[in-house]
Chains A and B, each alone.
Chain A
Amino acid sequence: MASEAPQFEPKIVAFVCNWCTYTGADLAGTSRLQMAPNVRVVRLPCTGRIDPLFIVKAFERGADGVIVSGCHPADCHYTAGNYHARRRFAIFRDLLDFMGVDVRRITFSWVSASEGGKWRDVVNDTTARVKELGPFTEYQGLSDPWPPAPPPTGEGASSSQALGTP
C-alpha cells in the first residue's frame, strides 16, 4: 500500500450482556484471538437492560458504530431478556433512519459464551463496515467535549461529594 492519509479508525461501542457475549469476548481473549482494537465493550447484566437511548447516546458522544449482542434466543440467563431486546430493536431500527443514522452502522448479533471466534468476526466485520461508511459526523457538536472542563473553583464546586477534599 502506498502512503496515504492516516486511515480512518472508527470508534465502536459494544453493548453486551454479562452472561453470553461478555463471556464469549472473554473467551476470545483467553484464546488470544486477534481483532480490531476499535471496539469498546460496555457490560450490562442482560440485553434486556439496553435502552435504545444508549445507542443514541453513543452516537452523540462520537461513536461511529454500535454493536448490540447478547445470548442466543432461548439461551438468556434471565430466560426472556433477549426476547424483549429483540422486539425493542426491531422497532428501533426503523427509527434510526428517521434520526439520520445509517442502519449499517449498527450490528445486532447473538454471541454465546462459547463463541469467541464469532465475537472476533462480529468485531472485525463491524469495524470493516464502519470504516467503509466513514466517520459519523451528523451528531457532531451536539454535546460538549469530554472530559468536561473542571468546574470553576470556589462557589461552583457543588455536590456533597466535595466533603473531605482539601
Chain B
Amino acid sequence: MSRIGVLVCHCGENIGRTVDCAKVAHALGELPGVAHAADYKYMCSDPGQLLIKQAIAEKKLDGVVVAACSPRMHEKTFRRACASAGMNSFLCEMANIREHCSWIHEDRERATEKAIALARAIVEKVKRNQPLSPIHIPIERRALVIGGGIAGIQAALDVADGGGQVVLVEKEPSIGGHMSQLSETFPTLDCSQCILTPRMVEAYQHPNIKLLAYSEVESVSGYIGNFEVKVRRKARGVDETRCNGCGECQKACPSKKIPSEFEQGLGKRTAIYVPFPQAVPNIPVIDRANCALFKGRAKGAKKQACGLCKDACGRQAVDFDQQDSFVTEKVGAIVVATGYQLYTIGKAQPSEKLKGYGEYGYGKIPDVIDGLQFERLASASGPTGGKILRPSDGKEPKKIVFLQCIGSRDPAKGIEYCSKICCMYVAKHTMLYRHKVHDGKAYVFYMDVRAGGKGYEEFARRAIEEEGAIYLRGRVSKLERAGEKIKVYGFDTLSGRPMVIDAEMVVLATAMRPQPGIETLAQKLSVSYDGHGFINEAHPKLRPVETNTAGVFVAGACQAPRDIPDSVSMASGAASKVLGLFSHEELERDPTVAVVDEAGCAGCFHCERVCPYGAVERKDVKNREGVVLKVVASVNKGVCQGCGTCQATCPSKKVELQGFTDEQMFAVISAL
C-alpha cells in the first residue's frame, strides 16, 4: 500500500472562498493509500513547504499531492521542497483546484466536489509514479545566431564578449539589417549608420564570431546543448578569400540599371554588387537573375555573354562556376533574430487575409512611398544624397501627407495588431522633412499617437508643437492622382470635417510583418509562431526571450513589432540566457521521455514514423554469439522531447512515456 500525503492549499481566499478545503483534505484522507491529509492557508509559503517536508519525514510518505494552483505555477516549487526532504521530486504532483476550479465556479458544493475528484485522480496517478532522475547531457559552447540585423549583431557580440563562440548567419550579402537603411533614429535623431556600422565591423572582426553572410539555415537537428545545423552558403560568384573589396568589378559591370533592394527600389545597382558602401563583409555578389552572363547561360547560349567583371578583377576572385556549398556547425544554443519586413501593400498578397490597399495607389502613383523609402530619401548616403525629392520628377515636395496605421490595427485587412514603431518614425519623418525643407508642410493622419517609451512622448510632442507638423485624427479613404499632385481624401474626426489635401508626396506607415519564410524556419527549429508568423515566446511576461523549444531563443522584431532599443534589450537578454546555459558543465533535463520495452517490441516502427524529432532509433538485439535476433525501436533520451505520440501509436503498447504511462493515465481516468 502506498503512503501518499495530500496537502490542500487555501491560497489565502482564492481557493478557500469557493472550495471547502478542510472537506477536500478529509475526503482525500479516507482514500486507500493516503497516509496523510491536511490543509493550510498558503502551501507555497515557507511554513507551508515546511509542512510538506515534516509530513514526508514523520509519515514516511512515498508520494505527495499538493492540491493548489496550476502545476505551471508551482510544480517546481513543491518538487524542490520534496527533494530537499529526501524524496524523489517526480513523486510529487499537483492537482489544479484554483485555475481549473475555485476561480471558475461559484457553487461551493459542486466546486468542492470537483476539487475532490481532481485531487483524487492525481493521488491515483502518484501512487503509480516511479522515481525518475533528470537526464544529463553535455553542452556545446557555441551559439548560432540567425539574422544579422541589430538584434542578431547585439546577441552575437554579447555572447562572444562573454566567452562563447558564435556562428552568425545572415541571408543577405551584408549584415546590418533594416537599421542600416535608416537615416536617423528616434527619439535622439542620431545617425543610424554612425552607431551601427562600428558594431557591424566589431562583429566581423571579433575572434569569437564566425560570420556566414549570404547564407541560410538549411536544416536543424539535435536538441539543447547539442544542435547540429546545416547552413547553405549561397554562391556569391566571388571567392571570399581572394576578394579585397576594391570595387573594380562593379565599375566594369555593364548592367547598371537594376533597382537596388537596399535603396528600396529608389536607386540603381549593378549586377555584381555590394548592397551599400559600408557593407560587411565588403564582398560583392553576382545577382544571377540580372547578370548578362548567367542570363545567357540560362538560355543555353554557347558563347559567354559577358565576363567584364572577371577581366576587371586583379585578384582572380570572380568565379562564375561557384556553386552553393554547405557547412555543418555544432552549436549548443540558437538565437532567432530574423527581423521584419514591411507589409508590401502594392504587391500580390501572400494570404487572402491580407487584402492590401489598392485605394492608396502604392506602386501605381510613383510619389506614394512607404516609410523605408522615405528613410532612404532622407539618408545622406541614399539615392538623393539626403535631399527629399519626388521619385517621379525629382522635385522637392512642399506638401507631404503621412498616413499612419496602414495595415496595422485593421482587422478588415488582416492585421489587428499595432506595429508600435510607426507613430514614432512618422513624427521623426515630419521633423527630418521640416529640417530639410523649411517651407514644407507635413500633415499626418493618425488613429492615436502611441508614444510609450523613454523620451518618446516628448519627441512626438516636439514634432507637433515645435516642428509644425499638422496632426489630423482620422483615416484616409483614398488617394487619387491629379496632375502632378495627389489628392488625399480624408476625414478629420476631431473637427468632424472631410478634408481634401493636394499633396505632392504621400508616405505610408505600413505595418511590420515577420520576414517571409519565417514559418519554414520556425518549423526547422520546432518553435511555434502565431497567426501572423511572429515567433512565440515561452511566456509573454516572464520568459520573453525563450521559446518553447529548449535552447532556442528569440530576439527583436521576429517575435513582435519592436523598435531598436527593444530589439537590443531582447538580444542582450537572449545572449545572457545563452551564456547562462554555457556556464554549466552539463545539462539536466526533465526525464519525461519515452522508453521502449525491448522484450515486447515487435519492431513495426510505427513509432519511428510518427516521432516529430527523429528520436526513435533502430537497435539490434543480439544473442551471446552476437547474432542479431531482432531489430527493435529504441528512444534516444537526448532527442526525445516527451510528446508521447509514439505511445498512443504503438499497437502493442510497448513504448511508455515516463510520467504519463498508460497505467497512470487509466488510473487518473478511473478516479475522476
Binding site for B on A (CB under 8 A): 9, 11, 13, 19, 22-23, 25-26, 28-30, 32-35, 37, 40-46, 48-52, 54, 57-58, 61, 63, 71, 74-81, 84-85, 88, 120, 143, 146-148, 150, 157, 159, 161-162, 164-165
Inter-subunit contact B647/A51 (CB<8 Å)? yes
Contacts of A45 in B (CB 8 A): 592, 642-644, 657, 660
Set A37, A44, A88, A150: member contacting B660, Cβ < 8 A = A44
A42/B528 in contact, CB under 8 A = no
For chain B, residues 305 to 322, give those with C-beta under 8 angstroms from any C-beta of chain A.
none
Flag B450-464 by CB within 8 Å of A: 1 or 0 each: 000000000000000
| B643→A49 contact, CB < 8 A | yes
List B contacts of A58 (CB < 8 A): 669, 672
Query: Which chain B residue lies CB-closest to A18?
Result: B72
- Within the complex, which residue of B62, B99, B592, B645 is in contact with A30, where a contact is CB–CB below 8 Å? B99
- B107-139: CB near A (< 8 Å → 1, else 0) gives 100110110011011000000000000000000
Find out whether the CB atom of B671 lies under 8 angstroms from the CB atom of A49.
Answer: no
State whether A43 touches B105 (Cβ < 8 A): no
- Interface pair A48/B610, CB less than 8 Å apart: yes
The smallest beta-carbon distance between A138 and chain B, in angstroms, is 17
A61 to B113, CA, bound (A): 17
Given contacts A23-B72, A50-B648, A77-B548, contact A41 B96 (CB under 8 A): yes
A161 → B minimal CB distance (Å): 5
- A45→B662 CA distance, assembly (Å): 13
- The answer to whether B670 touches A57 (Cβ under 8 A) is yes
Closest A residue, CB atoms, query B107: A37
C-alpha spacing A143/B48, complex, angstroms: 39
Given A29-B104, A157-B1, A161-B62 in contact, is the A44-B72 Cβ separation under 8 Å? no
Contact pick for B645, options A23, A71, A84, A146, CB 8 Å? A84
Asked whether A84 lies within 8 Å of B649 as measured between CB atoms, the reply is: yes
Using Cβ atoms and an 8 Å threshold, which residues of chain B touch A42? 121, 665, 668-669, 672
**Top 7 A-B pairs ranked by shortest CB distance?**
A29-B99, A49-B644, A48-B645, A78-B643, A46-B643, A29-B103, A80-B612
Contact B645 A78 (CB under 8 A): yes
Given contacts A84-B610, A146-B670, contact A34 B662 (CB under 8 A): no
What are the residues of chain A within 8 A of B255 when measuring CB–CB?
none
- Scan B507-541; emit 1 where CB is below 8 A from any A CB, else 0: 00000000000010001001011000000000000
Q: Pick the most buried of A54, A78, A147, A164: most chain B CB atoms within 10 A of its CB.
A: A78
In this complex, the interface size class of chain B, counting residues with CB under 8 Å from chain A, is: 35 or more
A165 touches B3 (CB 8 A): yes
The reply to whether the CB of B391 lies closer than 8 angstroms to some CB of chain A is: no
Q: Name B residues whose Cβ lies closer than 8 Å to a Cβ of A.
A: 1-3, 31-32, 60, 62, 70-72, 96, 98-101, 103-107, 110-111, 113-114, 117-118, 120-121, 519, 523, 526, 528-529, 548, 592, 610, 612-613, 641-645, 647-649, 657, 660, 662, 665-666, 668-672
State the CA gap A19–B644 with chains docked (Å). 13
Q: Which residues of B contact A32 (CB under 8 A)?
A: 103-104
Can you list 13 pairs linking A and B with CB atoms under 8 Å apart? A19-B548, A22-B72, A32-B103, A43-B96, A45-B592, A48-B645, A49-B643, A49-B645, A57-B666, A80-B645, A81-B643, A146-B670, A147-B32
Find chain B residues with CB under 8 A from A49 CB. 643-645, 647-648, 657, 660
List A contacts of B62 (CB < 8 A). Answer: 161, 164
Residue of B nearest to A72 (CB): B531
Q: A26-B72, A77-B528, A147-B31 are in contact. Are A37 and B96 (CB under 8 A)?
A: no
CB distance from B200 to the nearest CB of A (A): 34
Query: Which residues does chain B contribute within 8 Å of A51, judged by CB atoms?
Result: 647-648, 662, 665
Tell me which residues across on chain A come within 8 A of B100, comparing CB atoms: 25-26, 29, 41
Do the beta carbons of B32 and A79 come within 8 Å of each other?
no
Other-chain contact of B99, A26, A81, A143 (Cβ < 8 Å): A26
Chain B residue at smallest Cβ distance from A25: B100
A140 to B592, CA, bound (A): 35
Q: A165 and B548 in contact (CB under 8 A), knowing A26-B99, A42-B665, A54-B665?
A: no
CA distance A28 to B101 in the complex (A): 10
Query: Chain B nearest CB: distance from A93 CB in Å?
Result: 16
Given A54-B665, A78-B641, A146-B670, do A34 and B1 touch, yes or no (CB 8 Å)?
no
Task: Looking at the assembled complex, report how far the CB atom of A13 sits from the nearest CB atom of chain B, in whole angstroms.
Answer: 6
Nearest chain A residue, comparing its CB with the CB of B645: A48
CA distance A162 to B529 in the complex (A): 49
Name the B residues within 8 Å of A54 (CB-CB). Answer: 665-666, 669
Residue of A nearest to B18 (CB): A37
CA distance A30 to B99 in the complex (A): 6
CA distance A43 to B659 in the complex (A): 11
- The answer to whether residues A37 and B111 also contact, given A43-B71, A161-B1 and a CB cut-off of 8 A, is yes
CB pair A88 B648 closer than 8 Å:
yes
How far, in Å, is B655 (CB) from chain A's closest CB? 11
Bound-state CA distance A9–B105 (Å) is: 15
Alpha-carbon distance A42/B117, docked complex (angstroms): 11
Closest to B105 in A: A37
Cα(A148)–Cα(B3), bound, Å: 17
A63: chain B residues at CB < 8 Å are: 672
Of B72, B120, B645, chain A has the most CB atoms within 10 Å of the CB of B645
Q: Which residues of B contact A88 (CB under 8 A)?
A: 648
**Chain A hits for B106, CB < 8 A:** 34
B-side contacts of A161, CB under 8 Å: 1-2, 62
| Further 20 A-B residue pairs, CB within 8 A, beyond A45-B644, A75-B529, A81-B644 | A19-B548, A23-B72, A32-B103, A34-B105, A35-B104, A37-B114, A40-B121, A41-B96, A42-B121, A49-B645, A51-B648, A54-B665, A57-B670, A58-B669, A71-B528, A74-B519, A76-B528, A78-B613, A84-B610, A157-B1
